[in-house]
Amino acid sequence: MRTPPVLRPRRVVGPTPGNAPALPVTRPLVRSLALPLALAVGMAGVLVAVGPPAAAHPAEGAGAAVGYASGGHAQGGHSQGGHSQGGHSSGGHSQGGHRGDLGRETISTDDGWAAWSGPTFPEGVERQARPTTGGAAATRAEVYEVDTWQELRDALAGREGGSQNDARYNETPRIVYVTGAIDAFTAPDATRLTCEDLASQVTVEGTGEPFSMDDYIAQYDPSGPWGRADPEGPLEQARDAAASLQAAQTQQHVGSNVTIVGVGDDAQISGANLRVRDAHNVILRNLRFSDGYDCFPQWDPGDGEAGNWNSAYDNVSLWTSTSVWVDHSTFDDGAHPAGSLPVVYGRPFEVHDGLLDITHGSDLVTVSYNEFLSHDKTMLIGSSDSRTQDRGQHRVTLHHNYWEDIGQRAPRVRYGDVHAYNNYYRQTRRQAEAGSFQYYWGSGRESSLVVENNAVRLARGSDPAKVVGAYGGTMLSESGTTLNGRRTDLLAAYNATASTPLADEARWAPSDAYRYRLLPTVAVPWVVLARAGAGELRSTSPR
Task: Kindly list the catalytic residues.
Answer: 409
- Measure Cα distances from 504 to 186, 443, 473, 492 in Å: 49, 12, 12, 9
**Alpha-carbon dihedral sign for residues 454, 457, 463, 469:** negative
Gap between the Cα atoms of 220 and 201, Å rounded: 22
- β-strands 308-310, 298-300 pairing: antiparallel
Look at strands 347-348 and 343-344 and give their pairing.
antiparallel
CA R_g for the chain = 23
| Helix (H/G/I), strand (E/B), else coil: 287 | coil
Q: How many CA atoms lie within 13 A of 173 on its CB side?
A: 22
Phi/psi at 155 (5° precision): -65, -40
Going 348 to 312 to 261 to 393, the CA torsion angle's sign is positive
Say if residues 256 and 281 touch (Cβ distance below 8 Å).
Answer: yes
Identify whether the C-beta of residue 306 lies closer than 8 Å to the C-beta of residue 344: no
**Dist. CA 439–CA 436, nearest whole Å:** 10
- Beta strands (DSSP E) in 405-476 are 412-413, 417-421, 424-426, 441-444, 448-452, 455-457, 468-471
3-state secondary structure of 348: strand
Contact 300, 230 (CB under 8 A): yes
